[in-house]
Amino acid sequence: MEAVVDATDLEKRYGETTALAGASLSVEAGEVFALIGPNGAGKTTLVRALTGTTDPDEGTARILGEPPSAVDRDLLGVLPQEFSPPARLSARELLAYYAGLYDDARDPDNVLADVGLVDTGETWYEDLSGGQQRRACVGSALVNDPDLLFLDEPTTGIDPAGRRTVWRLIEDLADAGTTVVLTTHDMAEAERLADRVGLLADGRLVAQGPPEALVREHGGSSRLTVETAADPDAFADLEYPVERPERGRGRNPDNAVVVRDIDPAAIGAVVDYLEARDIEYTELSWAEPDLEDVYLSLADTAERERTDRLEGENEADDSDLARAGETA
């Protein structure tokens, strides 16, 4: 069966900026696929190329078996990252307005309930809070009960309870067979919702897979973080690998020593070790690796590779200039 979303080697440049540098992905019917990646990685550009709102310079994209611009809009729901609906419509009128654009739409009141806006249904869009506005926008992408739904940062600005409302909504849609492609900076959101996650860095999908597989492959080992000013050498006799993370890297506090590969049952032995040697510490916390570790590790690697590549290009330019100078 043909994939619902199928993109091969998409490239997109804006002047000197390369937004997509050969992105390929395939999403099956009923899957929830989450795109994660740093600011400027190309997530929105990829969504735009897949929904037909921008044309790639190279590569091909097909959704629901058609080129994006040829797809029946009744089958497609799109929530762009930036979306400014008419401000002087109430939330209910707004959903009714968008529902009116389709031959066969859902009852706007049901959509209003789905996104948790029944109590504010009569409030003008411009008077809704930022999070309520975002919920109304999510609702507007659902009015046609789409087969394929693109959500570009659906929960940005929505409070934790509202975020869970939107998550449950996406889960229900996926259970009913809707294919969902979303972008997010919220790793808990990606981990909870996505069947597969794609990490985009520098215009390329550098890793794709189910969250648990990505965590196994790239998440590293469990860690016990000891908040202490002590030198890692003070931990030399401990039977586990110990490191002091570079400041500002990863998710560790500034003054911390991290004990790797340690089972929670062994934490007591570490406490005994610290106390026996009078090593002062303020806090101990143990964590298994999760998607945030995958993100930090892969995005960091991609950023280093990008810096190396740019330095390589600059050196090549400099030597070209030097050669040109010699022959002039």
Ligand X SMILES: Nc1ncnc2c1ncn2[C@@H]1O[C@H](COP(=O)(O)OP(=O)(O)OP(=O)(O)O)[C@@H](O)[C@H]1O
The answer to whether the CB of 140 falls within 8 A of the CB of 149 is no
Which residues, numbered 79-108, are part of the site for ligand X (CB under 6 A)?
Answer: 81
From candidates 9, 14, 172, 277, binder to ligand X by CB under 6 A: 14
What six digits make up the tokens of 36? 């994660």
Report the residue number, 81 or 255, with the smaller CB distance to ligand X.
81
Report the residue number, 80 or 250, with the smaller CB distance to ligand X.
80
Report the residue number, 81 or 129, with the smaller CB distance to ligand X.
81
| 286 SS3 class | strand
Q: Is 184 in the site for ligand X (CB under 6 A)?
A: no
Nearest distance from C-beta of residue 14 to ligand X, angstroms: 3
**Per-residue DSSP letter, 203:** T
Report the residue number, 87 or 310, with the smaller CB distance to ligand X.
310
From candidates 37, 68, 116, 162, binder to ligand X by CB under 6 A: 37
Q: Is 56 in the site for ligand X (CB under 6 A)?
A: no
Nearest distance from C-beta of residue 186 to ligand X, angstroms: 12
DSSP-derived pairing of the beta strands 196-201 and 76-79: unpaired
| Inter-CA distances, 293 with 161, 190, 208, 215, 267, Å | 25, 13, 15, 8, 21
Q: Is 17 in the site for ligand X (CB under 6 A)?
A: yes
Report the residue number, 41 or 63, with the smaller CB distance to ligand X.
41
Nearest distance from C-beta of residue 55 to ligand X, angstroms: 12
Report the residue number, 52 or 108, with the smaller CB distance to ligand X.
52
- Return all residues near 86 (Cβ < 8 A) that are at least 6 apart: 94, 97, 125
Nearest to 185 by CA among 158, 204, 161: 158
Q: Is 154 in the site for ligand X (CB under 6 A)?
A: no
Q: Is 44 in the site for ligand X (CB under 6 A)?
A: yes
| Element of type H or E holding 175 | helix 160-175
From candidates 4, 5, 10, 19, binder to ligand X by CB under 6 A: 19
Q: Is 40 in the site for ligand X (CB under 6 A)?
A: yes
Q: Determine the residue type at 167.
A: W
Q: Is 198 in the site for ligand X (CB under 6 A)?
A: no
Q: Which stretch binds ligand X (CB under 6 A): 14-22, 60-68, 69-77, 206-214?
A: 14-22
Q: Is 181 in the site for ligand X (CB under 6 A)?
A: no
| 231 SS3 class | coil
Report the residue number, 16 or 237, with the smaller CB distance to ligand X.
16
Largest interatomic CA distance in the chain: 76
Strands of the chain, DSSP E:
5-14, 17-27, 32-36, 58-63, 76-79, 148-152, 179-183, 196-201, 204-209, 223-227, 242-243, 256-260, 283-287
Nearest distance from C-beta of residue 49 to ligand X, angstroms: 9
Report the residue number, 37 or 116, with the smaller CB distance to ligand X.
37
Provide the β-strand partners of residue 256: 227
Q: Which stretch binds ligand X (CB under 6 A): 39-47, 71-79, 88-96, 269-277?
A: 39-47
Number of residues that bind ligand X (CB under 6 A): 12
**Distance, CA of 80 to CA of 162 (rounded, Å):** 19
Q: What is the CA radius of gyration of the chain?
A: 24
Q: Which stretch binds ligand X (CB under 6 A): 2-10, 32-40, 207-215, 276-284?
A: 32-40
Q: Is 41 in the site for ligand X (CB under 6 A)?
A: yes
Q: Is 187 in the site for ligand X (CB under 6 A)?
A: no
**Distance, CA of 193 to CA of 187 (rounded, Å):** 10
Residue ranges in contact with ligand X by CB under 6 A: 14, 17, 19, 37, 39-45, 81
